[in-house]
Structure 1
Amino acid sequence: MAETRLTRLQAKLKTQALDAILVTDPVNVTYLTGFTGDESALLVSAKTAWLITDSRFTEQVKVEVHNATLVLHQHGLFAEAGDLSEQHDLHRIGFEAETLVYASFAKLPETSEWVATTNFVGTLREVKDASELALIQKAIEIAEAGYQHVLATIRPGMTEAEVALDLDFFMRRLGASGTSFETIVASGARSAMPHGAATTKVIEAGDVVTLDWGCVYHGYVSDLTRTFAVGEPDPQIKAIYRVVYAANRGVAELMAPGVTGQAINDYAHGLIDQAGYGQYFGHGTGHGIGLSIHEGPGAWGIYNQVGQVAGNVETDEPGIYLPGIGGVRIEDDLLITATGAQLLSTPAPAELPIVQVTP
């Protein structure tokens, strides 16, 4: 029998001495079954999977789910999960500690042992298959078309919010179902805010603009950042752009199977520190993307000691942010291959792009 996402999860149950796992993260339910509705839970034992939901989704489940038995609950998802565990003699059951709130956990019967798990399904999601890569690549292509649209239409007098709204709708017209996160358009001195959400600030001639955006395509996300100027910027912006570009390219060359998040972070921060801007780069250098905008592995948090493996898709996003002047970030999406990393996005230019302003 061919290996599937569900069978890989079932094999993992044995390694943790679990009779079953209760999956409550909607993203993980989608990943394992294809179900895109809400108000659901998935109970997976060594041989069987039950998708628990209500009658609103009966027809949707028939279309989307072909590897789990539909169970319609009458008195709540968690009471139903408890009933199933008792009916099928499941005693030691894992649950997703990151997403299961205490009020829901309290509804699970004490007749079973409920074992907290962390990133149990998430680690499976970290290695993308060919179908996932195709969807991520399409999400990147739509996002990049949106960027070209921004460069062609942005002008002094527009607000950051107007640019963001126009970009968001442009990507929807190309097939995106939404944005990966709230689109960041930070101009002028505000570009020194790494996550400066778009505001009513008017973009002026000479402003540097940091654009951090992405879209969702059939559930999978893209995540890119580009920095450009509208008219001639402060010379310091051009200088730090070159440093960030060098860090971005160096990270891309470093990424490969076995390389840890810490090694990636150390490289990017080391290069920027040597250039004299270390105090102005305070965040991680990248993260995994897929069905979620932040997933493993990457150069951040708990993944710093984790080595990359072929099939990971990660961002590469060094930056420098000068208070009162402006900031630069360049972010790409890359696929870890057997021998290194493949750039999935179009690389940024080596020099700061400048949108010419018509007098």
Structure 2
Amino acid sequence: MIKRVKRLRQLMQEKGIGYLLITKPENRLYLSGFTGSTGVLVIGPETADLLTDFRYIEQARQQCPDFNIVRVEQQSVFGVTSDVIRNYKGEKLFFEADHLTVKEFNELKEKLGEISLAPCQGLVEQLRMIKDDQEIELIRQAMAIGDQAFEHILKYIKPGVSEWELTLELEYFMRKQGASGPAFDTIMASGPRSALPHGVTSERILQPGDLLTMDYGCVFQGYHSDMTRTMVLGQPDQKQLEIYNIVLEAQLAGIAAVKEGVKASEVDQAARQIITDRGYGEYFGHGTGHGVGLNIHEEPRLASKSDTVLKAGMVVTIEPGIYLPGWGGVRIEDSVLVTQNGCEILTSSPKHQLLKL
């Protein structure tokens, strides 16, 4: 963890930031290893403090040996934060502008008094885009659980079963494999509901001939997995085969475009062009992918206006889709690790033809 703090300090120095308050739970975990639910970090040029209450003091000491553990007692965490900054003779404190609430900001400003307060954004997230070996291994394990869950759930998919039943079985299985929970609200969308890109699970009963889109993942030791597969209950018709094969071609084109040095927008364009050329461009209205890690959606975004240049160590999804209102939809998604010469696909469940159940 101390290596991550050192890299953050380098960024802080480049941007003229002396002291930075970390309130985002995922950033706190990334920098300190602390898994408790309450606490903030104060990072300085040579100091690293973790402020938490009585419930987590011993846990913090065990998980964060490189941090000075400060106990929060009667006063609020922001009152203790101000004491820490004054002790270090800091004149300005930067905070994560996209996380602190207005109420918290006002309280912090009041507690700091003469010490000025300034916003910053995306500093830790910039570091988190490139995963280290430890993170990649945890992500691999999360993805493996997702693949195991796919193989498991196939036995339960049949007409007469509800989307809810499938989701419960899927999530229960992932927990039994070591996941702490689902990565997000599982999308189990059947029949016409598969035209909803974020059609979270409903009580709908699966029918013969339905398309079924499953978009799901799990959390393993803080890290997320993400995968989507679309299948059909019975023999597919020509329209279902057509749409599926277009999306598959687009997804494979997106994967082929991924490598270090390529712009995220170029990956989006590679997948999007296939769908547009086939006449379905207006039915693909979301980005081609996103980063995955301590959050299910994080930087970089693989979208048409993203100028982010991919670097080795980034983990991103490739997930084009076509969604036809009243008919249904198809999405195919894999998570991949960016490498110098291409990418490594981290999800291995079958996709190369429309799966018939």
TM (normalized to structure 1)? 0.96
Amino acid at match of 1:80: V
Contact 2:20 2:43 in 1 (8 A): yes
Further displaced range: 233-242 or 168-177: 233-242
Supply the distance in 2 between the matched residues of 1:38 and 1:166 (Cα, whole angstroms): 28
Amino acid at match of 1:184: I
- CA positional deviation for 1:344: 1.2
Contact 1:287 1:295 in 2 (8 A): yes
Supply the distance in 2 between the matched residues of 1:139 and 1:159 (Cα, whole angstroms): 26
Supply the distance in 2 between the matched residues of 1:112 and 1:308 (Cα, whole angstroms): 39
In structure 2, stretches of 5+ residues that fail to align are: none
Amino acid at match of 2:228: T
Amino acid at match of 2:270: Y
Supply the distance in 1 between the matched residues of 2:184 and 2:101 (Cα, whole angstroms): 23
Is 1:279 matched up with 2:278?
Answer: no
Could you give the per-residue CA deviations for residues 125-177 of structure 1, whole angstroms, max 9, x where no partner exists? 11101111111001011011101111122111110011001000001011111
Contact 2:192 2:329 in 1 (8 A): yes
Contact 1:330 1:348 in 2 (8 A): no
Amino acid at match of 1:354: K
- CA positional deviation for 1:298: 2.6
- The residue number in structure 2 matching 1:342 is 344
Is 1:111 matched up with 2:110?
Answer: no
1:1-359 paired onto structure 2 within 5 Å: 4-74=3-73, 75-108=75-108, 109-300=112-303, 304-346=306-348, 348-355=350-357
Supply the distance in 1 between the matched residues of 2:91 and 2:125 (Cα, whole angstroms): 23
What is the percentage of aligned positions where both structures have the same residue? 39
Supply the distance in 2 between the matched residues of 1:30 and 1:129 (Cα, whole angstroms): 14
Contact 2:232 2:354 in 1 (8 A): yes
**DSSP 3-state at the match of 1:239:** helix
Further displaced range: 267-276 or 208-217: 267-276
Supply the distance in 1 between the matched residues of 2:205 and 2:64 (Cα, whole angstroms): 48
Supply the distance in 2 between the matched residues of 1:135 and 1:350 (Cα, whole angstroms): 27
Supply the distance in 2 between the matched residues of 1:347 and 1:178 (Cα, whole angstroms): 20
**DSSP 3-state at the match of 1:43:** strand
Q: Which runs of 4+ in 1 moved over 3 A?
A: none
Supply the distance in 1 between the matched residues of 2:290 and 2:235 (Cα, whole angstroms): 32
**DSSP 3-state at the match of 2:259:** coil
**DSSP 3-state at the match of 2:200:** coil
Supply the distance in 1 between the matched residues of 2:268 and 2:87 (Cα, whole angstroms): 49
Contact 1:280 1:322 in 2 (8 A): yes
- CA positional deviation for 1:343: 1.0
Supply the distance in 2 between the matched residues of 1:213 and 1:128 (Cα, whole angstroms): 21
Aligned CA distance change for structure 1 residues 225 and 174 (closer, same or farther; 3 Å): same
Could you give the per-residue CA deviations for residues 8-67 of structure 1, whole angstroms, max 9, x where no partner exists? 111111111111100000110000000011121100001111101100111211221111
Amino acid at match of 1:204: Q
Further displaced range: 53-62 or 256-265: 256-265
Supply the distance in 1 between the matched residues of 2:106 and 2:215 (Cα, whole angstroms): 40
Residues matched between the structures, number: 353
- CA positional deviation for 1:3: 6.7
Further displaced range: 111-120 or 35-44: 111-120
Amino acid at match of 1:352: L
TM (normalized to structure 2)? 0.96
Amino acid at match of 2:229: R
**DSSP 3-state at the match of 1:158:** coil
- CA positional deviation for 1:205: 1.1
Contact 2:2 2:66 in 1 (8 A): no
**DSSP 3-state at the match of 1:106:** helix
CA-based RMSD: 1.4
Supply the distance in 2 between the matched residues of 1:163 and 1:122 (Cα, whole angstroms): 34
Contact 2:139 2:225 in 1 (8 A): yes
Amino acid at match of 1:71: V
Contact 2:191 2:327 in 1 (8 A): yes
- CA positional deviation for 1:106: 1.2
